[in-house]
Amino acid sequence: MSEPMVSEAKNLTIREVRVILTAPARSRLIVVKVETSEPGLYGLGCATFTQRPLAVKAAVDDYLKPFLVGKDPQRIEDIWQTSWVNSYWRNGPVLNNAISGVDMALWDIKGKLAGMPLFQLLGGKCREAAAVYRHADGADEHEVEDNVRRYMDEGLHHIRCQMGGYGGRNPISRRPEGALPGAYFDPVAYAQSVPRLFEHLRKRIGYGVELLHDIHERLQPIDAVRLAKDVEPYRLFFLEDPLPPEQPEWFRMIRQQSATPIAMGELFNHPLEWIPLVKERLIDFIRVHISQIGGITPAKKMAAMCELFGVRTAWHGPGDVSPVGHAANLHLDLSSPNFGVQEWSGFPDPLPEVFPGCPEVRQGYMYPNDRPGLGIDIDEAQAAKYPCPPGPPDWTLTRTPDGTSVRP
């Protein structure tokens, strides 16, 4: 960094905070842009809560923006702490995502001021690239196998396997009269299908590739315990989200009865949801949605705590994380010694056009670019071409065969 910029940084202030909503690949994405008093110096952050984007936008526009304008963007820790308590009540998904958008943007600005990629400011590389996993689905075991082989041919070594999506797509023939609409699934048929799927895959593909599976909280706790035992012979890399956040005590029973590695956390908001699980070594991978917990500042602290207890990171990285959020995940992956694996759903067109500088994946590894900060930008004119669709999502309206509403 040249001497003039260092001098100007002493009087740097936040000039504007804006929310950009866009849905280039159908998922509703939320990006926060923090502009500074230095012309052309700004940062981007991910605040994507795709089910409630307008609530996050209002939190940023109506509360965080007036709180932040005029402050020094270099004081990241102080801004995070004061933003977190300024609402008095905290640790909710809307406010956490709003804070995250600002927090990531400030780290982006910090990297640009330093003239360094963010991973350098977080301690430097622990590895050259981050191993990713992708999702192989299919209507039956053979279609799943075909998709697993396709990803293996692309160089992936970690592949998550589902059959018929979350909870399967078994036909529901016993709905009661007048059953309400929803995303119906049969938890019994689903639980029985999973061991069959992995028995098929291991027989046909062998053990030279890491296989994963996501329960997505679709089972009663005791059935999740049974499934963790049933898939143990197939040596999963991990079994994801076997329980909802509301049932943490059941993790002790899973641990007592099965050596299947457990990954948990994409719905977590509050530190008390993950601290006991990590301290008691009841999970093996933490996979929070980092904007859901408030951004990079709390995520780097979480990663350090998990390292002390032998828990690895596997940050949430589906299509409803913006490329800005994926870039933040990657910088944490590269700089964390206890990195495990990174979920990645791909960057389909036109995402790379809307977000220039997307990280690249080659032969199963995600690589950063050498640009300062997060290394990613947004083309606002392109983003405006893809407005967010209105209304709540349908897939969260999950029901069992008798019509009972259950966790999605």
Is 63 assigned a catalytic role?
no
- Sequence-ordered list of residues with C-beta below 8 angstroms from that of 335, at least 6 positions apart, any chain: 119, 122, 123, 124, 125, 126, 300
User: How far is 268 from 347, CA to CA, in rounded Å?
Assistant: 25
Angstrom distance (rounded) from CA 25 to CA 10: 40
The pair phi, psi for residue 344, each rounded to 5°, is -150, 130
For 178-181, the CB contacts below 8 A with 24+ separation are 179/399, 179/402, 179/403, 180/399, 180/403, 181/397
Chain centroid to CA 353: 22
Spatial distance between the Cα atoms of 345 and 111, rounded to a whole number of angstroms: 26
Among the listed residues 135, 158, 200, 216, the single catalytic one is 216
Residue 126 and residue 130: Cα distance in Å, rounded? Answer: 10
AA identity, residue 137:
D
Residue pair 227/194 in contact by the 8 Å Cβ criterion: yes
The Cα–Cα gap between 183 and 394 comes to 7
Our measurement of the distance from residue 179's CA atom to the centroid of its chain's CA atoms, rounded to an integer in Å, reads 33
- H/E run at residue 111: helix 93-114
Angle at 319 between CA 224 and CA 385, to 5 degrees: 155
Does residue 316 have an active-site annotation? no
Return the DSSP state at 187.
H
Identified catalytic residue from 166, 184, 190, 386:
166
Residues 6+ apart with CB under 8 A from 371: 117, 357
CB 142 within 8 A of CB 34: no
Positions marked catalytic? 166, 216
